[in-house]
Amino acid sequence: MSALIVNKTKKKEDIILAALKVFEEKGLSNSTIKEIAETAGIGKGTIYEYFKDKNEIIHNSFFYFQKFFEMDMGKILLSNEKGSSKLKNLIRSIMSVLRSENNDYLDLMFDFWAEGIKGHEKGVMLTEMNKFYRSYRKLFEDVLREGIKDGSIRKNIDPFETSSIIIGTLDGVMVQWILDKEVIDLKKIEKNLINLILNGAGVSLIKKEESK
């Protein structure tokens, strides 16, 4: 690959990072190309050498944004632990990523969700978002199935629906945290969340599937 292409990629990345910063601050619609260019330290016109229009910046920003949340789950998934343990570790791992590293951009989630179902080229983004969620669910689904197989997860849960629910929980808890950080304590939530997901809130002498 020639140095030229590498540089081009590097510059696109610079622009996207600048865009994300501006988007995060002002929202998608209220961010201007001028501001993005300034943040990227380049000329306004230069942006158009790398992106067709503002929409393309938005889409590419979203792709990049998603990468923030890609994490190496290999260690967890390939470990010898039981499914329930992997589930626990997965949740912890995800929450720690959301909580710390990239939480600068986390609230862009809202903007992208909104843009995904509206916006001019919603199709592209929606597809991408759904792809993201589908593989995200698959991740949990696999762990749940493992757990069912190894006896650490109850048999009577539906792995697909439950993975969707667990992910929903993580998203939803983030929403409240983003909106009201003074009241929501993610650390405490994490502990309770794992407890709830594994043990439930209800009281029953013996778990049903074990009861027969």
Partner DNA sequence: CATGAATGAGCCTTCATTCAT
Partner DNA sequence: GATGAATGAAGGCTCATTCAT
Whole-angstrom distance, CA of residue 187 vs CA of residue 191? 7
Query: Which of 9, 25, 30, 138 touches DNA (CB under 7 A)?
Result: 30
Query: Which of 7, 30, 32, 46 touches a copy of itself (CB under 8 A)?
Result: 30
Whole-angstrom distance, CA of residue 54 vs CA of residue 210? 57
The interface partner of residue 141, options being DNA, a copy of itself, none and the CB cut-off 5 to 8 Å by kind, is none
**206 sits near DNA (criterion: CB under 7 A):** no
Query: Which of 17, 24, 27, 33 touches DNA (CB under 7 A)?
Result: 33
Least Cβ distance, residue 99 to a copy of itself (angstroms): 14
Query: Which of 32, 79, 135, 195 touches DNA (CB under 7 A)?
Result: 32
The interface partner of residue 123, options being DNA, a copy of itself, none and the CB cut-off 5 to 8 Å by kind, is none
Whole-angstrom distance, CA of residue 143 vs CA of residue 74? 12
Restricting to residues 43-72, which ones interact with DNA according to CB under 7 A?
Answer: 43-50, 53-55
CA 76 and chain centroid, separation: 18
**201 sits near a copy of itself (criterion: CB under 8 A):** yes
Whole-angstrom distance, CA of residue 211 vs CA of residue 111? 47
The interface partner of residue 124, options being a copy of itself, DNA, none and the CB cut-off 5 to 8 Å by kind, is none
Least Cβ distance, residue 117 to DNA (angstroms): 19
**184 sits near a copy of itself (criterion: CB under 8 A):** yes
Residue among 70, 86, 66, 69 at smallest CA distance from 163: 86
Whole-angstrom distance, CA of residue 39 vs CA of residue 53? 17
**193 sits near a copy of itself (criterion: CB under 8 A):** yes
H helices of 27-152, where? 33-40, 44-50, 54-68, 74-77, 83-99, 108-117, 122-150
Whole-angstrom distance, CA of residue 46 vs CA of residue 39? 13
The site for DNA (CB under 7 A) is made up of 2-4, 6, 8, 11, 30-34, 42-50, 53-55
